[in-house]
Amino acid sequence: MAKKILVIGGVACGPKAAARARRLDPEAQITIVERGSEISYGACGLPFYLEGEIKDIRELTSTPVGVPRNVGFFKAVKGVDVKINTEAVAINRDKKSVTVKNLESGETGELEYDKLVIATGSAPVRPPIPGIELEGIHCLKTMDDGSAIKAAMEGAQGRTAVIVGGGLIGLECVEPLLNAGFKVHIVEKLPFVLPALLDEEMAKPLMGHLKAKGVTLHCGDGVEAFEGGGNGRVAKIKTEQTSIETDLVILAIGFRPVTDLAQAAGLDVGRMGIKVDAYMRTSDPDIYAGGDCVESWNIVAGAPMYAPMGSTANKHGRVIGNNLCGWSSTFSGVCGTGVCRIMGFNIARTGLTERDARAAGLDVITVLAPGPDRPHYMAESKPIHMKLVAESYTGRLLGVQVLGPGEVLSRVDTMAALLKMGGTIDDLADTDMAYAPPFSPAIDNLITAAHIIQNKRDGLIRSYTPAQLKEKLDRGEDMVLLDVRTPKELEMMSLPYKEVVHIPLGKVREKASELPKDKEIVCLCKISLRGYEAARMLLGAGFDRDRIIMLDGGILAWPYEKNVNA
């Protein structure tokens, strides 16, 4: 007798599980129920539809050759029955059936299963803020959301849009709104943008980029109320610190796993989603779950995490499809890898931020390593900022953050593979990364960062982060900031502090005797490569090891005040 496989949810994980199961079991009776009117669409492409890079929203539901992934497609090509506009309202585990409701006719019925898959996804967070039900306040999750926002963007010239939430979805909406003619404000409760992806010092360059593009940031500020203009539409946002008149609001403060159905069925549910084992089984061995509705396992932290990513959902679906057909496939977990593009600025991260690592009780060593993404003599060379995080005593890699106009993806993907294998700083330094001038420096930025951490670990250099040095300057500590850049570089950009002494690197050996030996000397240059050279020169000249410091990342990584002349 054919096995009955029932899938609840038709966007990413559900269709993937169904398609994989069909390939492995041509006799199974497979059904997907989806409460919406669309199935198997690329929700992650919605910001690029708003931007205009995707001309027709229907492309998000099509195969690479333009065939719509609709009910007929799934029946003819995948051999899967799909019931759209159909809501699963209850899981009857004792009878191994699901009660469903047709949202168009209102009729209810029951569908039996031998194996059940829950792929109910996530829903945008909509907190009970006064006025949140006013028209003109949108989330971006579904194709209907995308169409509604696109329509609201018409005639935008001179109007104002407010994005509530400085996370991934919110920032991906910035460019389409600016291009449409809106004045754009971002309100973010935390002190910096992309707080789930970046440490604050790494978010600073991105925030500077956003401001340079005309975006007004309200970080460290929260929304208190939305106010209407008398026509039922939002007209003003009141925050803890100000008020902003607005014509359009995009609410992008995160997503929550949709677990109501699983909870009502008595399945184990955690704070971050439905609990599953490595086989993607729930607490009921005949029920699997995957995608945005489940709690994922963070390989690096060794703890649960919430990871609502389309890539992860598809991996879950493949594992589930295998196991529906008697295999014993497992999913080992995630590293928290993510990437985005914000107005020509690329941002990627994998593993733990320094903040995450310290919160987990880990003793960490970090490095800031800005630099060009390929040799400076290549016309396409562009800068990137990098922060590498490792465990102090073991050298175990913990995470990396990379951002800037240059290429970031290969660095983060390399790091994600090493994290999954439990790699160390020494493993990274030995990694055989591809090299040719059109693609990377001879020593890739990632390996350079590993070398710097090795130097710190091996006692060759001490360093201050920009935040540590800024605290010392603000306290008025007596020190020397030794800037070893060329005079031409100094004319273009400099630090506005009386403690700065300028000696070009080529003169440091000659003039070392002019520097005080009873003060801390913080050596710096553009990216601190020459700063490191200068520090080693001073140590070789007999300066106190405890008083010679390198500024992590140099002046490029300095997020505070600078004199910029060109």
Query: Does 10 share its domain with 117?
Result: yes
Query: Does 264 share its domain with 247?
Result: no
Instruction: Report yes or no on 129 lying in a domain.
Output: no
Name the phi and psi angles at 534, rounded to 5: -65, -40
The pLDDT value recorded for residue 1 is 81
Instruction: Report yes or no on 242 lying in a domain.
Output: yes
- End position of a domain, from candidates 442, 457, 472: 457
Residue of 122, 116, 151, 112 whose CA lies nearest to 135: 151
Query: Does 263 share its domain with 242?
Result: no
Query: Does 239 share its domain with 294?
Result: no
Tell me what the mean pLDDT of segment 60-77 comes to. 94
Q: Look at the block and give the residue holding tokens 């295998």.
A: 322
Query: Does 311 share its domain with 405?
Result: no
What is the spatial distance between Cα 352 and Cα 398, in angstroms, rounded to a whole number? 6
Angle between helices 445-457 and 409-420 (to 10 degrees): 50
Res 537 pLDDT > 60: yes
pLDDT in tens, 309-339: 999 999 999 999 999 999 999 999 999 999 9
Residue of 131, 132, 145 whose CA lies nearest to 173: 145
Catalytic residue among 13, 44, 293, 340: 44
**Which ranges of 25-85 does DSSP label H, i.e. alpha helix?**
46-51, 71-73
Tell me what the mean pLDDT of segment 415-435 comes to. 98
Average pLDDT, the chain: 96
Q: Which residues contact 77 (CB under 8 A, 6 or more apart)?
A: none
- For residue 327, give both structure tokens: 């295999």
How far lies 491's CA from each of 108, 121, 480, 486, 563, in Å? Answer: 75, 54, 19, 9, 9
How far lies 64's CA from each of 44, 60, 69, 147, 486, in Å? Answer: 16, 10, 10, 22, 52
Res 252 pLDDT > 80: yes
- End position of a domain, from candidates 405, 427, 457: 457
Q: How many distinct structural domains can be found in the chain?
A: 4
226 touches 138 (CB < 8 A): no
Instruction: Report yes or no on 333 lying in a domain.
Output: no
Query: Does 97 share its domain with 181?
Result: no
Query: Does 263 share its domain with 114?
Result: yes
What is the spatial distance between Cα 396 and Cα 400, in angstroms, rounded to a whole number? 12
- End position of a domain, from candidates 407, 429, 457: 457
CATH of the domain at 390: 3.50.50.60
Q: Which residues contact 114 (CB under 8 A, 6 or more apart)?
A: 3, 4, 5, 96, 286
238 touches 223 (CB < 8 A): yes
What is the spatial distance between Cα 262 and Cα 317, in angstroms, rounded to a whole number? 18
Name the phi and psi angles at 349, rounded to 5: -155, 150
Query: Does 360 share its domain with 442?
Result: yes
Tell me what the mean pLDDT of segment 36-65 comes to. 94
CATH of the domain at 521: 3.40.250.10
How far lies 83's CA from each of 38, 68, 119, in Å? Answer: 10, 16, 15
What is the spatial distance between Cα 33 and Cα 19, in angstroms, rounded to a whole number? 14
- For residue 363, give both structure tokens: 């003793």
412 touches 458 (CB < 8 A): no
What is the spatial distance between Cα 170 and Cα 288, in angstroms, rounded to a whole number? 32
What is the spatial distance between Cα 20 and Cα 324, in angstroms, rounded to a whole number? 9
Where are the extended beta strands (E) located within 413-466? 462-464
Instruction: Report yes or no on 507 lying in a domain.
Output: yes
Instruction: Report yes or no on 131 lying in a domain.
Output: no
Q: What is the 3-state secondary structure (H, E, C) of 223-267?
A: EEEEEECCCCEEEEEEECCCEEECCEEEECCCEEECCHHHHHCCC
- pLDDT category at 566 given cuts 50, 70, 90 is low
Residue of 54, 33, 32 whose CA lies nearest to 43: 54
- For residue 553, give both structure tokens: 């990342």
Query: Does 90 share its domain with 21?
Result: yes
- pLDDT category at 230 given cuts 50, 70, 90 is confident
Distance in angstroms between the alpha carbons of the first and the last residue of the chain: 76
Query: Does 249 share its domain with 300?
Result: no
Query: Does 118 share its domain with 195?
Result: no
How far lies 365's CA from each of 390, 396, 445, 464, in Å? Answer: 5, 10, 17, 11
Instruction: Report yes or no on 514 lying in a domain.
Output: yes
**Which ranges of 374-444 does DSSP label H, i.e. alpha helix?**
409-420, 425-429
pLDDT in tens, 343-386: 999 999 999 999 999 999 999 999 999 999 999 999 999 999 99
Q: What percent of the chain has pLDDT over 90?
A: 98
What is the spatial distance between Cα 494 and Cα 500, in angstroms, rounded to a whole number? 9
What is the spatial distance between Cα 46 and Cα 124, in angstroms, rounded to a whole number? 15
What is the spatial distance between Cα 324 and Cα 70, in angstroms, rounded to a whole number? 23
480 touches 524 (CB < 8 A): no
For 343, the domain range is 338-457
Res 139 pLDDT > 70: yes
Known catalytic residue: 44?
yes
Instruction: Report yes or no on 344 lying in a domain.
Output: yes
DSSP assignment letter at 541:
T
